[in-house]
A and B are shown apart, each in its own frame.
Chain A
Amino acid sequence: MYLIGEFHEKDSAAAAIRLLRAGGITPAELDLFSEEPVELPRGVLDRPSRMSLASVLGAILFGLVATSFIYWSQHDYKLVTGGMPLFSFWATGVITYEMTMLGAIVATFSWFLWESGLIRKRDRNAPVPEVDPGAICLRVRCRAEQSAQAIEWMRRAGAIEIERRGTE
């Protein structure tokens, strides 16, 4: 089941998260909803990301594919180049570079779609709160027996309103 707590202060939301996590709820079960990015202190609700790595790997992949593509096509169609090298590494460096950058762009964008959960909804039935401007909603997924305790933590941290959603 899900609990949705509404906060008006960033600090009280952070406090609620600290309490919940101390009580054994993992960051994967917590979601914060807001109309603007909320910056919480480090260690409260970090979302580790591999986006930079994905972008670098995408760049390397596209760069290699582009270079080998050029290499093979130039060797498959051996034209008399009048003294110029058949595989023109430097002269095609721009293409390799642009393809490398395209790889970084494509990888970053795909990773963004994946990591943000926009194309990978973890559970489609999870309730999405309607957030008022300026408010922060904290969604907690927990077992029914935990819920009373979780409500208590959120209230203590300063939740304005707490709602239960979903059965089970």
Chain B
Amino acid sequence: MATASELLPYKQIREDLFRPLSSVSRSYVLVAILALAIGASGFVAWSYQLRRGMGVTGLQRPVYWGVYIVDFVFWIGISHAGTLISAILRLTDAAWRKPITRAAEAITVFALMIGGMFPIIHLGRAWLFYWLIPYPSSRLLWPNFRSPLLWDLTAIMTYVTGSVIYLYLPLIPDMAQLAEHNTPWRRALYRTLSLGWTGSDREWHALERAMKLMAGIILAVAVSVHTVVAWDFAMAVAPMWHSTIFGPYFVVGAIFSGIAALLLAISVLRKVLHLEAYLTRHHFNNLAKLLLLMSLLWLYFTIAENLTVWYGNEPKEMAVFGARTRARYAPYFWIMVLLNFVVPFVLLGIRRLRTIRTATIASVCVVVGMWLERYVIVVPTLANPRLPAASGLYTPTWVEIAITAATFAAMAMLYMIFAKLFPIIAVWEFKPHPQEED
């Protein structure tokens, strides 16, 4: 299949990819206002929660973790888009990755920024979150490094640092180009951020070497981050959380939802920025196949997780299992199976049905399905504790829903701002390379 880089002259590539930066359309402004409004309602909800107390959420004894933790795991999962696509494909030198890496890396950074907010939002005393950070304080107390929440903190810090650098490095040459002809404030911005990049071979060599190393490091970090998120649950002695499979299960789920988010993002970008010549059927086809693979892998883990519990028939675990599959949370569970497996399997597994449109539909389903998956993992376990007399029920309130909606708006907003400041496809990487032409 001919890739765009062989067909399009370089001048046009550059124009196509730099053009979206300079103009703002009416629909852009409308969507931005909508996103701001939803985001603002989330802030109102959060300030209400801070002022009144955690009682404004649906949390109660014994369901102490609810939608906030679901959102946390969900967004950290979405952040795996960038690392998988970009790092794995970069390490394996897959040429088709080139137009999608930056879109993926940007998702990683923004999803992490959003996901990283949730451990703070769900704190009983959110204004004291910095007590988790080790520093010589007046309290004369260091944090407890044994706590999985401290593991989370370090893992996410490392991941944010790494993914920002990983997004930033390949942006440098593009920003140096953008600095050449531009409005004054943009020139100042790009010139500062590109650190005086001249395009010398020393710089190119260092950049390529750094990207190779960073790809390897970020892959190791990404796997560990979602494993640690899983361990937040698995380290607790709660039934159906205390499971050795949780680390890899969560990593697979994260990559699964990450690919879905990426597919969704590029299909929106393709339409909105008119990048049909760059994000072709080829890319969607490849990503759809990856999504299908991850869907099957996810199904395998889900069966491995639930079948062993069901066959083991241990009463405490069966209480959770029953709540998940037969009682109160059964609708969530079976919709999750439908969205995460049945829909992608039919739409992407049958070759005739696998188009850009169906891939987009399937990825919307997977994003929703993976959110439900986290809900089904977090809530039923807590609602059915070891002492049956202490069981409880949980329904989220408007505060939690507003904050959740606000994070989706924040993702849209951050992505829209990013797309106006930086080319969403790495221009220098996209240029026809001599070694690829033959």
A binding-site residues for B, Cβ under 8 Å = 10, 31-39, 45, 47, 49, 51-52, 55, 69-70, 73-74, 76-77, 84, 88, 91-92, 94-95, 97-99, 101-102, 104-106, 108-109, 111-113, 115-119, 121, 128, 131, 133-134, 139
> How many Å lie between the Cα of A101 and that of B198 in the bound state?
30
How does the 8 Å CB contact mask read for B198-242 relative to A, with 1 for contact and 0 for none? 111111111111100110011011001000100100000000000
Chain B residues lying within 8 Å of A105, measured Cβ to Cβ, are 158, 161-162, 165, 214, 217-218, 221
Does the CB pair B142–A95 fall under 8 Å?
Answer: no
Chain A residues lying within 8 Å of B428, measured Cβ to Cβ, are 35-37
| B202 partner, pick from A39, A117, A119, beta carbons under 8 A | A117
| B210 partner, pick from A51, A119, A133, beta carbons under 8 A | A51
Does B388 sit at the interface, judged by CB under 8 A?
A: no
Interface residues contributed by chain B, number (CB under 8 Å): 52
Q: A49-B206, A88-B146, A112-B206 are in contact. Are A101 and B177 (CB under 8 A)?
A: no
* Nearest B-chain residue to A47, judged by Cβ: B205
Inter-chain residue pair count (beta carbon < 8 A): 153
Binds A, one of B148-156, B312-320, B358-366: B148-156
Report the minimal beta-carbon distance from A131 to chain B, rounded to whole angstroms: 6
Does the CB pair A34–B206 fall under 8 Å?
Answer: no
Does the CB pair B224–A101 fall under 8 Å?
Answer: yes
* Nearest B-chain residue to A121, judged by Cβ: B196
> How many Å lie between the Cα of A94 and that of B228 in the bound state?
8
Report the minimal beta-carbon distance from A81 to chain B, rounded to whole angstroms: 8
User: A98-B154, A105-B217 provided; 17 other pairs, C-beta below 8 A?
Assistant: A34-B201, A36-B204, A38-B201, A47-B205, A76-B142, A95-B150, A98-B151, A98-B221, A101-B162, A102-B162, A104-B213, A109-B214, A115-B205, A115-B209, A118-B203, A131-B199, A133-B10
Does the CB pair B146–A84 fall under 8 Å?
Answer: yes
Report the minimal beta-carbon distance from B161 to chain A, rounded to whole angstroms: 6
* Nearest A-chain residue to B217, judged by Cβ: A104
Does B124 sit at the interface, judged by CB under 8 A?
A: no
Binds A, one of B89-97, B261-269, B430-438: B430-438
Sample (11) of A-B pairs whose CB atoms are under 8 Å apart: A31-B202, A35-B199, A51-B209, A74-B142, A94-B224, A95-B150, A105-B221, A108-B210, A112-B169, A113-B195, A121-B196
> Which B residues, 132 to 152, have Cβ-Cβ distances below 8 Å to chain A?
134, 140-142, 145-146, 148, 150-151
Report the minimal beta-carbon distance from A3 to chain B, rounded to whole angstroms: 15
B binding-site residues for A, Cβ under 8 Å = 10-11, 14, 134, 140-142, 145-146, 148, 150-151, 154-155, 157-158, 161-162, 165, 169, 173, 177, 195-210, 213-214, 217-218, 220-221, 224, 228, 231, 428, 431, 433-435
Report the minimal beta-carbon distance from B426 to chain A, rounded to whole angstroms: 11
Chain B residues lying within 8 Å of A70, measured Cβ to Cβ, are 145
Chain A residues lying within 8 Å of B134, measured Cβ to Cβ, are 69, 73
Chain B residues lying within 8 Å of A84, measured Cβ to Cβ, are 146
Does the CB pair A35–B146 fall under 8 Å?
Answer: no
Q: A49-B205, A115-B206 are in contact. Are A34 and B199 (CB under 8 A)?
A: yes
Report the minimal beta-carbon distance from A78 to chain B, rounded to whole angstroms: 12
Chain B residues lying within 8 Å of A115, measured Cβ to Cβ, are 202, 205-206, 209
* Nearest B-chain residue to A90, judged by Cβ: B146
| B145 partner, pick from A38, A92, A101, A131, beta carbons under 8 A | A92
* Nearest A-chain residue to B165, judged by Cβ: A109
Chain B residues lying within 8 Å of A33, measured Cβ to Cβ, are 198-201
The 4 A-B pairs of least Cβ separation, nearest first, read A116-B206, A32-B201, A112-B210, A94-B151
Among B200, B224, B231, B431, chain A packs the most CB atoms within 10 A around the CB of B200
